[in-house]
């Protein structure tokens, strides 16, 4: 059973450790069966907890699914934020972060599957988990004078492209060509020309952050 988030809670109080145990267990179950087919009873049984303990932490499976998705995305975003300090160009930040996000998610296959399942059910672009992308997009629009409105609809379009890339790579394995294509498509949505988008992604592919964030 996965123990990534439970390990993060080591040294914290019992409540935090139990909550993260439920998150880790849910990631395994959701990844294996899908969110719709999973049950609270199965998750608590695998975690070795009573059903009542579950309801001390989450109102229902929907709240758990949302918490799991937020935990995954925020953990990836935290890794990126820590390693992208000093990278000040908005378009570069969007491209590098999108590529690195996809690579980290695909490398942790269960994370990618859970995010794909949850996005199919309920896009999460209007919550805190996309605040990092929104900030980079606003920076890119300002610096490059892009004629775009950074709103929830744009975020949903970009997130849909990323989820399509996750689906493809879960089926066929990590593919640089898919990463390249989805990043180019994202930049085209921001108003870059095909040649500009290709050049930006070519540069991002060589950027040391793209390989370093995955290996750390």
What is the average pLDDT across 65-84? 88
CA distance 15 to 168: 37
pLDDT at 214 over 60: no
Query: 157-202: per-residue pLDDT in tens?
Result: 998 899 899 989 988 888 889 999 999 999 999 999 999 999 999 9
* pLDDT in the model for residue 215: 45
Query: At 216, is the pLDDT very low, low, confident or very high (cuts 50, 70, 90)?
Result: very low
* pLDDT in the model for residue 208: 74
The answer to whether the predicted template modeling score (pTM) of the entire model surpasses 0.85 is yes
Query: 77-103: per-residue pLDDT in tens?
Result: 888 888 888 889 999 999 999 999 888
CA geometry: angle 93, 95, 98, nearest 5 deg: 100
* pLDDT in the model for residue 77: 86
| 3-class SS of residue 185 | helix
Q: Are 84 and 191 in contact (CB under 8 A)?
A: no
DSSP for 51-68, written as a single string: HHHHHTT-SSHHHHHHHH
Nearest alpha carbon to residue 186 among 151, 162, 150 = 162
Q: Are 74 and 44 in contact (CB under 8 A)?
A: no
CA distance 202 to 177: 11
Residue owning tokens 């493809």: 168
What is the average pLDDT across 11-39? 95
What is the average pLDDT across 121-132? 64
């Amino acid at each position: 059973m996965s123990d990534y988030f439970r390990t993060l809670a080591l040294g914290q109080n019992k409540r935090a450790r139990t909550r993260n145990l439920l998150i880790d267990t849910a990631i395994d179950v959701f990844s294996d069966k899908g969110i719709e087919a999973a049950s609270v009873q199965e998750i608590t049984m695998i975690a070795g907890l009573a059903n009542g303990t579950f309801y001390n932490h989450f109102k229902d499976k929907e709240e758990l699914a949302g918490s799991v998705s937020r935990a995954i995305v925020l953990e990836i975003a935290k890794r990126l934020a820590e390693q992208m300090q000093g990278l000040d160009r908005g378009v570069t930040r969007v491209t590098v972060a999108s590529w690195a996000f996809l690579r980290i998610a695909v490398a942790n296959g269960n994370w990618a599957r859970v995010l794909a399942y949850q996005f199919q059910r309920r896009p999460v672009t209007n919550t805190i988990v996309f605040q990092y992308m929104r900030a980079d997009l606003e920076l890119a629009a300002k610096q490059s004078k892009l004629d775009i409105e950074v709103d929830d609809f744009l975020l949903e379009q970009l997130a849909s492209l990323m989820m399509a890339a996750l689906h493809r790579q879960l089926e066929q394995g990590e593919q640089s060509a898919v990463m390249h294509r989805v990043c180019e498509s994202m930049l085209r949505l921001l108003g870059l020309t095909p040649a500009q988008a290709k050049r930006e992604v070519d540069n991002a592919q060589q950027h040391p952050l793209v390989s370093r964030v995955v290996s750390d």
